[in-house]
């Protein structure tokens, strides 16, 4: 019965999403498409209700003498990221070889905590700016102010090396120009923006679709940069117009976004009356905002900066000390989250090989 209800719910929700147009694509509602990442639905014996929150496991590992670590993303059913969670909102359940169902593990006795994820997770933001002739002539000063505000809002004040940003720009050339490489330095990023001048571009056309395809490829490469670290990326693209260069097809650009790895988020910012809002909403499938004039640019950049920050903050490294010991074999694990009256849970497994006491 539970599966029938789930199927009915998902079909209904899918129809609602389709009728509403652009939606956050970070979540697929097909369990075969790995909406739970490395995890799966909790065993029926726990009697949990359907997930109202999604915990998508990105990585999991164990550390002797007895620590279990799980890195996961948290979002609602619409794919909106959920940040700011604390360890006391999570419950732990384990099932060993002698258990018919799962046993609750005390969070306090197991030293459960949300730990800094900088050792296993990097968040990379690619800011892609349209510096075609129309921007340089009419709104460069406002763009520089808005971009500087965006950098200050997104980048941690402490300069954490796990949060990096690169800035690219495009005009009519068949090239995505690098303004500043990936760095965790706010000062370096803001200095590069301050150095943009009206003579930076030599081609007044706009290669928008090329910029989308190239920035997506860069983001894809970043995800594979270090096999020991989970990488996520956000592509934030600003433009004040439509593609004029016609080097690349619109369909190819949109396909690149649609088929990109689910750990890449896409945001778009449009300015003025000449933009194609429908196309920009598809490019910015995670979120898109529009400013009618250059005076509104800083506010729109700030709106997107909040979403980028939330996206990065929706990754959690949850750790606890298990009571399982060496020789107990492989155990099943369920992590349940309760947040604002909603619940979600995910199931995985771990090996207690070599585990002893003394974990903290």
- CATH number of the domain within which 260 lies: 3.40.50.410
Residues across the chain = 360
Is residue 334 situated within a structural domain?
yes
The mean pLDDT value for 107-129 works out to 88
Same domain? For 102 and 177 the reply is no
Residue 101, C-beta contacts closer than 8 angstroms, at least 6 positions apart = 43, 45, 46, 95
Is the per-residue pLDDT at 31 higher than 50? no
Query: What pTM was estimated for this model as a whole?
Result: 0.79
Beta carbons within 10 angstroms of residue 45's beta carbon: 11
Domain tally, the chain: 2
For residue 300, what pLDDT band results from cuts at 50, 70 and 90?
very high
Report the pLDDT value the prediction gives residue 19, as an integer from 0 to 100.
32
DSSP class of residue 116 equals P
Q: In this structure, are 309 and 181 located in the same domain?
A: yes
Percent of the chain, pLDDT > 90? Answer: 74
Same structural domain, 98 and 142: no
Contacts of 68 (CB under 8 A, 6+ apart): 60, 62, 319, 320, 321, 322, 333, 350
Secondary structure letter of residue 234 according to DSSP: E
- Residue 31 domain flag: yes
CA distance 327 to 282: 52
| Residue 314 reports pLDDT greater than 60 | yes
Question: For residue 360, is it within any domain?
Answer: no
In a domain, 359, yes or no: no
Q: Are residues 96 and 203 in the same domain?
A: no
Same domain, 175 and 90: no
Mean pLDDT value across residues 150-157: 91
The reply to whether 280 and 195 lie within a common domain is: yes
Q: Is residue 90 part of a domain?
A: yes
pLDDT above 60: residue 128:
yes
pLDDT of residue 159: 65
When pLDDT is averaged across residues 159-164 and rounded to a whole number, the result is 80
212 domain-assigned: yes
Whether 74 is covered by a domain: the verdict is: yes
Is residue 307 domain-shared with residue 326, that is, in the same domain?
no
Q: What is the pLDDT of residue 16?
A: 35
Enclosing domain of residue 139: 121-313
Same domain, 155 and 286: yes
Are both 170 and 242 inside the same structural domain?
A: yes
Q: Return the minimum-mean-pLDDT range out of 25-29, 81-85, 343-347, 349-353.
A: 25-29
Residue 56 sits in the same domain as residue 166:
no
Inform me whether the pLDDT recorded for 145 exceeds 60.
yes
Whether residues 241 and 338 share a domain: the answer is no
Average pLDDT of 96-109? 94
Q: Is residue 115 part of a domain?
A: no
> Does residue 163 share a domain with residue 81?
no
For residue 192, what pLDDT band results from cuts at 50, 70 and 90? very high
User: Which of 72-86, 105-119, 128-142, 313-327 comes out lowest in average pLDDT?
Assistant: 105-119
Q: How far apart are CA 275 and CA 75, in angstroms?
A: 30
């Amino acid at each position: 019965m539970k599966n029938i209800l789930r199927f009915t719910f998902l079909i209904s929700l899918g129809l609602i999403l389709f009728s509403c147009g652009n939606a956050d694509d970070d979540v697929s509602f097909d369990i075969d498409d790995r909406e739970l990442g490395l995890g799966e639905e909790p065993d029926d014996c726990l009697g949990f209700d359907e997930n109202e929150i999604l915990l998508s496991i990105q990585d999991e590992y164990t550390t002797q003498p007895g620590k279990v670590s799980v890195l996961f993303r948290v979002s609602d059913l619409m794919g909106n990221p959920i940040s700011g969670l604390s360890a006391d909102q999570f419950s732990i359940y384990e099932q060993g070889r002698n258990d018919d169902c799962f046993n609750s593990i005390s969070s306090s006795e197991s030293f459960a905590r949300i730990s800094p994820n900088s050792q296993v997770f990097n968040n990379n933001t690619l800011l892609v700016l349209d510096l075609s002739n129309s921007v340089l002539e009419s709104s460069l000063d406002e763009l520089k102010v808005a971009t500087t505000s965006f950098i200050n809002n997104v980048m941690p004040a402490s300069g954490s090396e796990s949060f990096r940003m690169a800035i690219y720009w495009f005009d009519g050339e068949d090239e995505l120009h690098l303004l500043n490489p990936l760095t965790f330095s706010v000062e370096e990023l803001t200095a590069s923006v301050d150095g943009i001048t009206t003579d930076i571009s030599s081609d007044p056309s706009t290669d928008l679709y090329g910029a989308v395809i190239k920035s997506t490829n860069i983001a894809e490469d970043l995800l594979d940069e270090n096999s020991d670290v989970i990488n996520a990326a956000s592509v934030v693209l600003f433009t004040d117009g439509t593609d004029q260069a016609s080097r690349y097809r619109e369909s190819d650009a949109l396909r690149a976004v649609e088929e990109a790895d689910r750990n890449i988020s896409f945001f778009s910012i449009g300015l003025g009356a000449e933009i194609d809002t429908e196309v920009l909403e598809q490019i910015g499938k995670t979120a898109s905002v529009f400013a009618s004039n250059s005076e509104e640019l800083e506010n729109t950049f700030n709106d997107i900066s909040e979403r980028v920050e939330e996206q990065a903050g929706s990754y959690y490294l949850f750790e606890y000390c298990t009571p399982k010991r060496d020789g107990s074999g492989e155990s099943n694990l369920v992590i349940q989250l309760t947040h604002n009256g909603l619940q979600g849970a995910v199931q995985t497994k771990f090996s207690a090989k070599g585990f002893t006491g003394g974990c903290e």
